Amino acid sequence: MVRRFLVIGHRGAAGHAPENTIAAFDRALAMGVDGVETDIRATRDGVLVLLHDATVDRTTRGSGAVADLTWAELEGLDAGARFAGGGHPFGVQRIPRLDTFLDRYGGRTSFRLEIKARGGGGSCRPPGTGAAADRDGGLYLLPAWGDNGRAADGAGGSDGLPVRGRGV
């Protein structure tokens, strides 16, 4: 049996557009990827946003930990401010909310969602579950959505869970 490798756009098409932005996800789809991967963090007021780092410092001109900032403080930041030294054709790229991402891409591609620990540098995995979770804030794994309308596990295979609504 020959297995087909899937091409997954890491943080969208990071390297071709500002990572974890609508421009990056659109570019990845235009490049023909089989799916996209993105990172999720919670703001201080509980809004789920797409950002890899624990802070906004590397990708925006702002500073501070995502977990310490509110959505109102994040929504005006340009997530592409530091991409290619700021000289790129994508214009201002806002930090996307998870609900915006799901509304835009939910039926268009499969995706892998990495939930980052609130205030920490990486994901937490409760013993025996294989699911990412936030120890103190109650964030739990959202299954990756497949093109077939079924949830896919973290390894990219189907675990047979039907996707209901947007899972949030």
What residues are labeled active site?
Answer: 10, 52
The single-letter DSSP state of residue 42 is E
Beta strand 35-42 with 110-115: parallel, antiparallel or unpaired?
A: parallel
Please state the φ and ψ torsions of residue 51, each to the nearest 5 degrees: -160, 130
Q: Compute CA distances 69 → 25, 149, 157, 158, whole Å.
A: 24, 34, 35, 35
DSSP string, 87-154: --TT---BPPBHHHHHHHHTTT-EEEEEEPPTTSSS-B--TTT---B-TTT--BPPPEEPTTSEEE-T
| Number of helical (H) and strand (E) elements in the chain, helices listed first | 3, 7
